[in-house]
Amino acid sequence: MTLTRSSGILLHPTSLPGPYGIGDLGPEAYRFLEDLAQTGSKLWQILPLGPTGYGDSPYQAFSAFAGNPYLVSPDFLKNDGLLQEEDFADMPAWNPQQVDFGSIFQWKPALLDKAFARFEAQPHTPLHQEFDGFRLDNAHWLQDYALFMALKDAQGGIAWNEWQPPLRSRQPEALQQARQTHAKAIRRQEFHQFLFFRQWNALRNFAHQKGIQIIGDIPIFVAMDSSDAWAHPELFHLDEAGKPTVVAGVPPDYFAPTGQLWGNPLYRWEIHRQTGYRWWVERIRAILQTVDIIRIDHFRGFAGYWEVPGNAPTAENGRWVPGPGIDLFHAIHRALGDLPIIAEDLGEITPDVIELRDSLHLPGMKIHQFGFSGPENPFLPQHYVPNSVVYTGTHDNDTAWGWYNSAPEHEKDYARRYLHISGEDFAWDLTRSCWASVAVMALAPMQDLLNLGSEGRMNFPGKVGGFWGWRMSSGAFTEDIKHRIRELNYLYGR
């Protein structure tokens, strides 16, 4: 993969402003891309786009292939004639600064159902022809996903491994009966996906017109309660009842004395190898039809991963297990060619992880915020190589100002001395240092460019609930901010 020196902003679509309680793929997304293009930046980085469930995390989605219907723009559905003004009569009064996921989960599906009813009442339109083509092109994942979601809704949202055995184990007669019983609900789920990808593809095309590439994000693991685990149980370490025998996590460290117990089912890599890694090839193929560059979260898991017994209360009593290594990437390369991948190589990195990353010539990540413990810290720019991607921080860290306001005094003192600053404009001084570095790509979360403190934090790893909800205020991407970014891009050749 050949990357060019460039810069961009990390901002998930849910964080965009707008009148419908959650950022979406509507007019504000286009306005953001217009503003981004005016800065001379060429990259927009997002988080995973999959349908979210419990905990609201985009890293625990119901599918590795599907899109999040909560991102569908009601404004564009009105333009398509699928919604009318009276459909919004029951819209709640939203907090413009924060996503209220609980209310969104009630209101947005009901709104999309109104669009579906109007769509079904108008057969034989060009939109129906588009829908039929979408269903055909995506049948390899869409059929299982739509049935999975229809069954899940019919059973009050319980996890698939708590369903009755015939459905849980996908007995053919039970599946055939379910497809007949829930035909309308299945078609509705397919329609939701059609709307998402129709709007996303239009937005991505607009980004390309503006000279902007989209950096997408895929978690290495899938959620336990996902259509992927239900439809392909043979690919995961599951028992006959669909319970995971081992799960993913990370071992104890200074920040988490009992480790982090993620709970994702782990892959049976030998089975994947026997299929030529077919599922992974299709997953990468699908994401490359959605974004331009892929950030693989927890890349180190391909070299080795922390395996925890499925019934363990914490991640303490796990073990390191070898991953598929370069064999997986050779299979993907044979099927898809060179891959535009960024390796998220943070955390406990061992020589085998570095060897795998470098043998594939993938850029790793540098988090400048982590660097202020002293001159030997690898996250300081003097230690970067050009084939790397530098961030002021990511969705998992506090904002730049949040870090500065809570960091030990000796680290703040080193940061001021290193950056040669007073500390009065820390977030932008950190941004300037990233842009000036040799790293081929430099990115900052929108929160840092808005000078936000901890109130702008997107996530806190290891904590469930209360995160992922931050939203940007309308008009916050001001001319002054655009000018400052444009100046940095000019000065540092980005």
* Secondary structure E strands in 92-182: none
Give the whole-angstrom CA distance, residue 318 versus residue 260.
Answer: 11
Per-residue three-class SS string for 425-493: CHHHHHHHHHHHCCCCEEEEEHHHHCCCCHHHCCCCCCCCCCCCCECCCCCCCCHHHHHHHHHHHHHCC
- Non-local (6+) Cβ contacts of 440 within 8 A are 3, 4, 5, 6, 363, 386, 387, 388, 389
Which pair of tokens denotes residue 105? 């989960």
From 396, 411, 425, 487, active-site residue: 396
From 297, 307, 398, 429, active-site residue: 297
Confirm if 189 and 183 have CB atoms less than 8 A apart: no
Amino acid at 134: F
In the beta sheet, which residues pair with residue 320? 306
Region of residue 92 (phi > 0: left; psi between -120 and 50: alpha; otherwise: beta) = beta
Confirm if 210 and 33 have CB atoms less than 8 A apart: yes
Give the whole-angstrom CA distance, residue 484 versus residue 421.
Answer: 17
In the chain, how many H helices and how many E strands? 18, 12
Residue 338 CB-half CA count within 13 A: 6
- Non-local (6+) Cβ contacts of 410 within 8 A are none
Annotated active-site residue 455? The verdict is: no
Give the whole-angstrom CA distance, residue 254 versus residue 132.
Answer: 53
Q: What is the DSSP string of 248-271?
A: EEE---SS-TT-EEEEEEPB-HHH
The size of the chain, in residues, is 494
Tell the burial category of 476 from Cβ atoms under 10 Å away from its Cβ (0-12, 13-18, 19+): middle
Annotated active-site residue 396? The verdict is: yes
CA distances from 443 to 15, 280, 407, 480 (A): 17, 28, 22, 18
Closest CA to 301 of 267, 333, 335, 330: 267
Amino acid at 299: F
Annotated active-site residue 217? The verdict is: no
Give the whole-angstrom CA distance, residue 419 versus residue 407.
Answer: 16
- Non-local (6+) Cβ contacts of 400 within 8 A are 369, 392, 393, 426, 427, 430, 431, 448
From 225, 307, 344, 345, active-site residue: 344
Catalytic positions are 297, 344, 396
